[in-house]
């Protein structure tokens, strides 16, 4: 611990333990334990945030389960006990000496250490975060809304607007590049979910015509968020009724994503947000379309830009459901039922 740094610029939290949700083994929601854990210590370049709300995301349950969806050679070694989660909103209560630009008391939001991982993650009362991964919370929205945004919104942003990093996706030879959206037709599959509802709004903001694909219960919301057309996938398969699309954002992705290739015009692009399982490269080449993906990465600088769009209402955050941190198991059970509308959030009392 860098005690000089911490003593110099920290509020005294008066305790060495906090409540956190940890797991000591892989498994279903039942492995999540609400228990005492050490308050994370500050390292150089970090702030410590007293957390108000936590947004939950698919990588949380991938880790909880032991990354069963990844090929064995990609499965990281996880040091138990482990705290899950990436997305937080809260208040800075300690700050390392070498951090400029923030102060104790600032309300901030963050996607913490993704895709890397550290001993201090989101499902906790206190989280230490590299200052490069935080931004001031948009003043006009609540901590619940701010915590719901980071991973899903950064994913949509890095796929569609600005990649913001140079890390190569090992699944493809070329760097991922967003495409022009103004005046284009964009189809968003899985449009009611975390990534999807932000993708719809970003495409609309950029001047695209947006076709949203989701189950029927999502139609009203998606039209309110700007969708020009809606396809209920429980009634019709989008790939059978649309063509000449410029860009498909497939937030369902996986091995079924290739079915959208035939909806694209020549020169169009398919961005599977979950690209594992795509095997139709030859068909994509034959049709003259691009298939490209990236992995979202933490970025305080991008969250700072996005804060303006969240503040002025350009981007709205939809909340599916809210659970206390102590009920993280129930939140994961809700997620496992699927058909999420927007985001699931945990609150810290
Ligand atoms: N590349 C990256 O860095 C990155 C980052 C974040 C997330 N991801 C991945 O992106 C995917 C989506 O994440 P998310 O947070 O948006 O998930 P989510 O919130 O669970 O959203 C998924 C949405 O898909 C809809 N859906 C389910 N089956 C469908 C189908 N057959 N056709 C159309 N829509 C369907 C669901 O609602 P309805 O069925 O009611 O329509 C739900 O709203 C996950 O696989 C996640 O791992 C990747």
pLDDT, tens digit, 9 for 90 and up, residues 10-31: 544 567 999 999 999 999 999 9
Q: Report the SS3 class of residue 266.
A: strand
Q: What is the DSSP string of 276-297?
A: TT---HHHHHHHT-EE------
Beta strands 126-130 and 46-55 are antiparallel
pLDDT of residue 6: 42
CB contact set of 179 (below 8 Å; sequence gap of 6+) = 246, 247, 269, 290
* Among 67, 214, 233, 295, residue to substitute to test ligand 1 (most atoms within 8 Å of Cβ): 214
Q: Is the dihedral of CA 130, 133, 134, 135 positive or negative?
A: positive
Residues 88, 126: contact at Cβ < 8 Å? no
Q: Which atom of ligand 1 is nearest to the CA of 214?
A: 41
**Better-predicted residue by pLDDT, 306 or 75:** 306
pLDDT of residue 14: 61
Smallest CA separation from ligand 1 atom 43, residue: 193
Ligand 1 is surrounded, with C-beta below 6 A, by 57-58, 151-152, 155, 189-190, 192-196, 213-215, 218, 233, 251-253, 273-274, 293, 295-296, 338-340
pLDDT band for position 168 (cuts 50, 70, 90): confident
Smallest CA separation from ligand 1 atom 33, residue: 190
Q: What is the pLDDT of residues 231-269, one digit of tens each?
A: 999 999 999 999 999 999 999 999 999 999 999 999 999
Mean pLDDT of the chain: 95
Instruction: Read off the pTM.
Output: 0.96
pLDDT of residue 1: 35
Q: Which atom of ligand 1 is nearest to the CA of 342?
A: 19
pLDDT of 3 > 60? The answer is no
Q: State the distance from the centre of ligand 1 to the C-alpha of 96, rounded, in angstroms.
A: 37
Q: State the distance from the centre of ligand 1 to the C-alpha of 9, rounded, in angstroms.
A: 41
CB contact set of 116 (below 8 Å; sequence gap of 6+) = none
Query: How far is 305 from 181, CA to CA, in rounded Å?
Result: 19
Query: How far is 336 from 167, CA to CA, in rounded Å?
Result: 31
pLDDT of 342 > 70? The answer is yes
Query: How far is 154 from 178, CA to CA, in rounded Å?
Result: 13
* Among 251, 292, 318, residue to substitute to test ligand 1 (most atoms within 8 Å of Cβ): 251
CB atoms within 10 A of CB 174: 9
Q: Which atom of ligand 1 is nearest to the CA of 296?
A: 3
pLDDT of residue 71: 84
pLDDT of residue 94: 97
Smallest CA separation from ligand 1 atom 47, residue: 58
For the ranges 1-10, 85-94, 224-233, which has the lowest average pLDDT?
1-10
CB atoms within 10 A of CB 68: 9
Q: What is the CA radius of gyration of the chain?
A: 20
Q: State the distance from the centre of ligand 1 to the C-alpha of 60, rounded, in angstroms.
A: 14
Query: How far is 232 from 202, CA to CA, in rounded Å?
Result: 21
């Amino acid at each position: 611990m860098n005690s000089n740094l911490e003593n110099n610029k920290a509020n005294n939290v008066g305790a060495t333990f906090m409540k956190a949700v940890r797991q000591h083994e892989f498994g279903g929601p039942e492995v999540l334990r609400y228990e005492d854990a050490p308050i994370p210590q500050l390292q150089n370049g970090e702030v410590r945030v007293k957390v108000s709300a936590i947004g939950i995301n698919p990588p949380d349950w991938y880790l909880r389960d032991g990354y069963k969806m990844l090929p064995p050679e990609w499965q990281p070694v996880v040091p138990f006990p482990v705290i899950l989660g990436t997305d937080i909103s809260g208040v800075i209560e300690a700050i390392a000496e070498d951090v400029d630009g923030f102060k104790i008391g600032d309300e901030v939001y963050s996607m913490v250490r993704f895709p890397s991982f550290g001993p201090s993650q989101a499902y906790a009362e206190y989280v230490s975060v590299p200052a490069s991964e935080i931004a001031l919370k948009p003043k006009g929205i609540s901590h619940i809304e701010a915590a719901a945004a980071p991973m899903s919104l950064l994913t949509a942003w890095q796929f569609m607007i600005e990649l913001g990093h140079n890390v190569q996706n090992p699944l493809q030879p070329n760097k991922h590049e967003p495409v022009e959206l103004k005046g284009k037709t964009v189809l968003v599959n899985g449009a009611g979910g975390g990534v999807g509802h932000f993708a719809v709004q970003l495409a609309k903001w950029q001047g695209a015509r947006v076709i949203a694909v989701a189950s029927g219960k999502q139609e009203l919301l998606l039209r309110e968020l700007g969708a020009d057309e809606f396809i209920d996938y429980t009634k019709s398969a989008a790939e059978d009724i649309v063509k000449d699309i410029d860009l498909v954002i497939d937030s369902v992705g996986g091995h079924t994503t290739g079915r959208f290739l035939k909806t694209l015009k020549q020169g169009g692009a398919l961005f599977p947000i979950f690209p594992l399982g795509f095997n139709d490269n030859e068909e994509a080449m034959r049709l003259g379309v691009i298939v490209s993906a990236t992995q979202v990465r933490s970025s305080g600088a991008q969250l700072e830009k996005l804060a303006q769009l969240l503040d002025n209402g350009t981007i709205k955050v939809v909340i599916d459901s809210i659970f206390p941190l102590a009920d993280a198991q129930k939140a994961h059970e809700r997620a496992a039922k699927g058909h999420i509308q927007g985001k699931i959030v945990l609150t810290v009392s």
